[in-house]
């Protein structure tokens, strides 16, 4: 019972982290038509900036300023990089972000080293929040939940209640019409790209010490976030939300299941000592998103909630 409850909580937290990343990616894609390959790299930068900030100031300082710094960096990349690549088409843009991801990886390795850095949960949040069935639940996880939900509410308010939100919504449904609204489209693009990166940065700040902060974290997270937005349906924030939680829960539960193939395929003569039979469900967890991705793209190319084909 406590496994299920804890897995549920952890799954939701992981899912919300995924949504922080995928919401920015979705916004950027909807408005600019760019699938930002480097999105997870900005998440990584968020974590590393936060680590460096906590060395000299406090976690709370990092929580606010690291995402802002990442967002500014994103806006710069849009202004001085992507914008000039735009004329060469979407493949060139995709390749640019691919190259950028590569570059950020290398820069991070040079500046912060090849090994994981000691980015810790702040002491003020490092205590067990409650005890359930004899197991303790760390307060920091609750904190992640609170921040993520806060971001969710803020995003919802921004989209539904503000002027810029209306423009973004218009762009989500009618991507070609934004230019006719008479707004400064390049500036909006820069702002959206920056904001999307800032969200990824925020996910890095609160996720980096929960998971691990090392140069491989972008390469680990990047493909999964891609999977989330494709499964949810490109351009659909609701879809991204559902897919984030779905994947978060799926992966968390798969890890906690103590079973292997022989348990399911015993009837077919697959024994626990055979190669296939000894594969455990938990070891399949990293593969699940990609299996789901390929299946979705074959069966329902628009994703769960999207109305556009990829």
Which residues of this chain interact with other proteins, rule CB under 8 A? 35, 81, 84-85, 88, 90-92, 94-96, 98-100, 102-103, 105-107, 110-113, 219, 223, 226-227, 230, 275, 279, 283, 286-287, 290-291, 293-294, 297-298, 301, 309-310
Q: Which residue has the tokens 């799954």?
A: 11
Q: How far is the CB of 110 from other proteins (least distance, A)?
A: 5
Q: How far is the CB of 76 from other proteins (least distance, A)?
A: 14
Tokens representing residue 211 in the block: 């998971």
Q: In this complex, which beta carbon is closest to other proteins, that of residue 154 or of residue 291? A: 291
Q: In this complex, which beta carbon is closest to other proteins, that of residue 197 or of residue 293? A: 293
List Cβ<8 Å contacts ≥24 apart for 148-157: 148/13, 148/16, 148/17, 148/19, 148/20, 148/206, 149/16, 151/20, 151/199, 151/202, 152/16, 152/19, 155/23, 155/199
3-state secondary structure of 228: helix
Nearest-10 Cα torsion for 21, 26, 28, 29: 140
The CA-based diameter of the chain, rounded to the nearest angstrom, is: 68
Q: In this complex, which beta carbon is closest to other proteins, that of residue 85 or of residue 129? A: 85
d(CA 145, CA 6): 14
* CA 61 to mean position of chain CA atoms: 22
Residue 137: phi and psi, rounded to 5, are -115, 120
Q: In this complex, which beta carbon is closest to other proteins, that of residue 138 or of residue 301? A: 301
Q: Do 70 and 197 contact (CB within 8 A), yes or no?
A: yes
Q: In this complex, which beta carbon is closest to other proteins, that of residue 33 or of residue 165? A: 33
Q: In this complex, which beta carbon is closest to other proteins, that of residue 113 or of residue 128? A: 113
Q: How far is the CB of 309 from other proteins (least distance, A)?
A: 7
Q: How far is the CB of 230 from other proteins (least distance, A)?
A: 6
Q: Do 202 and 40 contact (CB within 8 A), yes or no?
A: no
Buried b (16+ CB within 10 A) or exposed e, 200-239: bbbbbbbbbbbeebbbebbeebbebbbbbbbbbbbbbbeb
Q: In this complex, which beta carbon is closest to other proteins, that of residue 88 or of residue 180? A: 88
Q: How far is the CB of 51 from other proteins (least distance, A)?
A: 14
Q: How far is the CB of 92 from other proteins (least distance, A)?
A: 6
d(CA 285, CA 297): 19
Q: How far is the CB of 86 from other proteins (least distance, A)?
A: 11
Q: How far is the CB of 224 from other proteins (least distance, A)?
A: 9
Q: In this complex, which beta carbon is closest to other proteins, that of residue 122 or of residue 301? A: 301
Going 182 to 183 to 185 to 189, the CA torsion angle's sign is negative
């Amino acid at each position: 019972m406590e496994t299920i409850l804890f897995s549920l909580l952890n799954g939701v937290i992981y899912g919300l982290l995924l949504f922080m990343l995928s919401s920015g990616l979705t916004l950027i894609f909807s408005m600019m038509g760019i699938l930002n390959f480097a999105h997870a790299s900005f998440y990584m930068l968020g974590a590393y900036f936060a680590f460096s900030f906590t060395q000299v100031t406090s976690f709370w300082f990092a929580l606010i300023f690291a995402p802002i710094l990442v967002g500014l960096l994103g806006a710069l990349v849009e202004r001085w990089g992507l914008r000039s690549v735009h004329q060469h088409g979407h493949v060139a843009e995709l390749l640019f972000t691919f190259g950028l991801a590569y570059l950020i990886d290398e820069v991070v390795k040079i500046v912060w080293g090849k090994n994981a850095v000691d980015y810790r949960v702040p002491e003020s949040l490092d205590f067990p929040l409650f005890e359930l069935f004899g197991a303790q639940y760390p307060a920091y996880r609750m904190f992640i939940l609170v921040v993520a939900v806060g971001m969710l509410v803020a995003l919802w308010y921004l989209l539904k209640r503000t002027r810029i939100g209306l423009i973004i919504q218009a762009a989500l449904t009618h991507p070609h019409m934004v230019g006719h609204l008479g707004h400064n489209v390049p500036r909006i693009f820069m702002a959206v790209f920056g904001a999307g990166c800032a969200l990824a940065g925020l996910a890095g700040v609160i996720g980096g010490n929960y998971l691990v902060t090392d140069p491989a974290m972008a390469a680990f997270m990047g493909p999964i976030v891609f999977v989330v937005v494709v499964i949810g349906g490109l351009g659909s924030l609701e879809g991204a939300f559902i897919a984030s939680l779905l994947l978060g829960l799926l992966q968390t539960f798969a890890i906690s299941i103590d079973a292997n193939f022989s348990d399911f395929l015993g009837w077919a003569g697959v024994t626990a000592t055979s190669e296939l039979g000894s594969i455990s469900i938990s070891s399949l967890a990293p593969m699940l998103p990609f299996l789901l991705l390929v299946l979705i793209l074959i069966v329902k190319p628009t994703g769960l909630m999207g109305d556009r084909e990829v």
